[in-house]
Amino acid sequence: MRHPRSYALFSLPIWLGALAALALFPDPSAQADLLPPHPIPPKQPAKPTPTQPTAQTTPILPAPIPTRRQLITDTYHTTPVRDPYRWLEAGRSKEVQAWNNAQHQRTLRLFQQIPARQTILHELKKLYNNQSSTSPQRYGHRYFFFRREGLKNQPILYTAEGRYNAPPRVLLDPNTLSKDGTIALQQTSPSPSGRFLAYALSAKGSDWSQIRVLDVSTKTHLPDRIDQTRWPSMVWDRHGLGFFYVSYPPFGTVPARDKNYYRRIFYHRLGTSAEDDRLIFGEGLKKETWLDPAVSSDRSMLYVSTSVDWSYNDLYYRPIASKGPFLTLAKGLQGQFSANVMDGHILITTTYKAPRGRVLIAPLHNPTQKHWKTLIPQQKGVLQEVFLVKGHLLVHTMEDVVSRLLLFSRQGQLIREIPLPTKGSVSDISARSQSNEIFFRFTSWIYPSVGYRYDLATQSLERIEKINIPVNLSRYQTEQIFYCYLFVNKC
């Protein structure tokens, strides 16, 4: 019985990661008047410079914050359960906010006694003050990607014309939308031609957002605006005339406790009011049902996934231009399902009867379960994602905690494996069904997360991003070791 473990010879100083929290707390001095009296810490020596070693003293733990208790008891199946701190669930009350601020100040007083804290902060800033980008996503002749620059709060959305490495221009910079940098791009969705960009903005970490539409060429906004969305999962129709999205009942139309429920899919046509958006899917479902829309690579088919937990989902479909009923692809089966369209067939990726995942195929005109056939059987590794690329299927698996990128023919035969720099993890894959380009990010113990591009035509892999970090990673190596449990006689 073999069990994998990965070992690395300290790719970065472990103490940086272990003590990261000590260095990143802000100083909410404005809340100091909320605190009860507390012990005064002993006088500390002069603050050390980042290179000056200092004798470590034992920090003094500040006095606990008094916490009110309530006499509340609930009975569940004849068993009484006390809940004395239920009042802390009212997160917006002044009392709870004062309690939170007092706890934060108490923690900060402890952290400020640690002489190494400023040294750690100094080192972390050097490591984080860098530039990294997401994988380019191609729509029409445009490439879209996010880039995080230095210590800015939010990544910036860029676009490049014609080539992924063409000079980029800023499309949206959320750092300029608020003074404190807390307005974020929650989701973005370019139209198929790249002419428009639908995006959702959220403020101060809220899940609630607002959808706007931008003309990419002119960087001007269309009048379209959709309020009160939450992770709206926007997907465009085939011709870029409008998009499907998820929304919730208007505030006040359901009880306040249900405002995060009744998720529904609507269709918005550009140039119309959100009040006229057409309900597409979700009527009559349980209020807890989580549902998301998706479209096939050729944008001929609209799929809707529904679930009430993260283990299984049902999957429905219909032609994207149709206004007819949705057809059932998978319902009530113990597995996860997603689908695509390939060469007149429906391609189904599922964990049904294959816990590590497999790929099925069925005729487009009759994809009922009795017509499902295995195209790519369950592999040794766990199936992560499947992409249609030019003439191939790209399959990402995780085997012994290591990513593998496998190219299959569209008939299910393994063609080759895309070589990776070393043992590590792949993420953020970007591929198009009619393109030779595959973009992804790769990281390992001694490789910071960087972008790569693989060309199907030339079978070449190139690194498209350079990250400068103040650590000589060539001094370290990664080794994967398999071992046996001591109580097992054989491996």
**DSSP per-residue letters across 156-189:** EEEEEESSTTSPPEEEE-GGGS-TTS-EEEEEEE
State how far the Cα of 138 lies from the Cα of 176, in Å rounded to an integer: 26
What average pLDDT does this structure show over 227-254?
A: 95
Mean pLDDT of the chain: 88
Residue count of the chain, please give it: 491
Residues 266 and 278: beta-carbon distance below 8 Å: yes
- State residue 467's pLDDT score: 83
CB-count exposure of residue 266 (10 Å: 0-12, 13-18, 19+):
buried
Residue type, 67: T
- State residue 487's pLDDT score: 59
Measured CA to CA in angstroms, residue 125 lies from 24, 50, 128 at distances of 10, 12, 5
- State residue 31's pLDDT score: 35
Residues 243 and 268: beta-carbon distance below 8 Å: yes
- Three-state DSSP at 478 gives strand
Residue type, 184: A
Write out pLDDT tens, residues 197-212.
Answer: 999 999 988 999 999 9
More confident residue, 451 or 180: 451
For residue 385 the two structure tokens come to 């994602």
pLDDT band for position 472 (cuts 50, 70, 90): confident
Whose CA is closest to 393, among 368, 370, 369, 418? 418
pLDDT at 410 over 80: yes
- State residue 43's pLDDT score: 45
Please give the angle made by the CA atoms of 460, 398 and 437, to the nearest 5 degrees: 25
Please give the angle made by the CA atoms of 233, 235 and 241, to the nearest 5 degrees: 140
What average pLDDT does this structure show over 388-413?
A: 96
What average pLDDT does this structure show over 122-129?
A: 86
pLDDT at 13 over 90: no
pLDDT at 440 over 50: yes
Other beta carbons within 10 Å of 351: 19
pLDDT band for position 491 (cuts 50, 70, 90): low
Other beta carbons within 10 Å of 232: 29
pLDDT band for position 488 (cuts 50, 70, 90): low
Of 177-186, 261-270, 378-387, minimum mean pLDDT range: 177-186
Q: Specify which of 109-118, 174-183, 368-377, 444-453 reaches the highest per-range mean pLDDT.
A: 368-377
- State residue 35's pLDDT score: 33
Residues 282 and 264: beta-carbon distance below 8 Å: yes
Please give the torsion angle defined by the CA atoms of residues 129, 441, 198 and 255, in that order, rounded to the nearest 10 degrees.
-80
More confident residue, 6 or 327: 327
- State residue 324's pLDDT score: 95
pLDDT at 426 over 70: yes
CATH fold of 136-289, please?
Methylamine Dehydrogenase; Chain H (2.130.10)
What average pLDDT does this structure show over 133-142?
A: 97
pLDDT at 234 over 70: yes
Residues 237 and 299: beta-carbon distance below 8 Å: yes
Write out pLDDT tens, residues 216-232.
Answer: 999 999 999 999 999 99
Q: What is the DSSP letter of 18?
A: H
- State residue 381's pLDDT score: 95
pLDDT at 7 over 80: no
Whose CA is closest to 305, among 279, 278, 276, 285? 285
Write out pLDDT tens, residues 357-388.
Answer: 999 999 999 999 999 999 999 999 999 999 99
What average pLDDT does this structure show over 261-278?
A: 97
CA-CA-CA-CA torsion sign (61, 65, 71, 76) = negative
pLDDT at 406 over 70: yes
CB-count exposure of residue 182 (10 Å: 0-12, 13-18, 19+):
middle
Whose CA is closest to 188, among 196, 178, 199, 180? 199
Every domain of the chain and the residues it spans: 3-52+64-75+82-126, 136-289, 380-467
State how far the Cα of 80 lies from the Cα of 82, in Å rounded to an integer: 7
The string of DSSP codes covering 395-437 is EEEEETTEEEEEEEETTS-EEEEE--SSS-EEEEEEE-TT-SE
Whose CA is closest to 237, among 270, 283, 281, 279? 270
For residue 197 the two structure tokens come to 């960009």
- Three-state DSSP at 314 gives strand
- Three-state DSSP at 21 gives helix
Q: How many CA atoms lie within 13 A of 312 on its CB side?
A: 10
Measured CA to CA in angstroms, residue 283 lies from 231, 232, 256 at distances of 19, 17, 20
What average pLDDT does this structure show over 451-456?
A: 97
pLDDT band for position 251 (cuts 50, 70, 90): confident
Write out pLDDT tens, residues 56-113.
Answer: 567 888 999 999 999 999 999 999 999 999 999 999 899 999 999 999 999 999 999 9
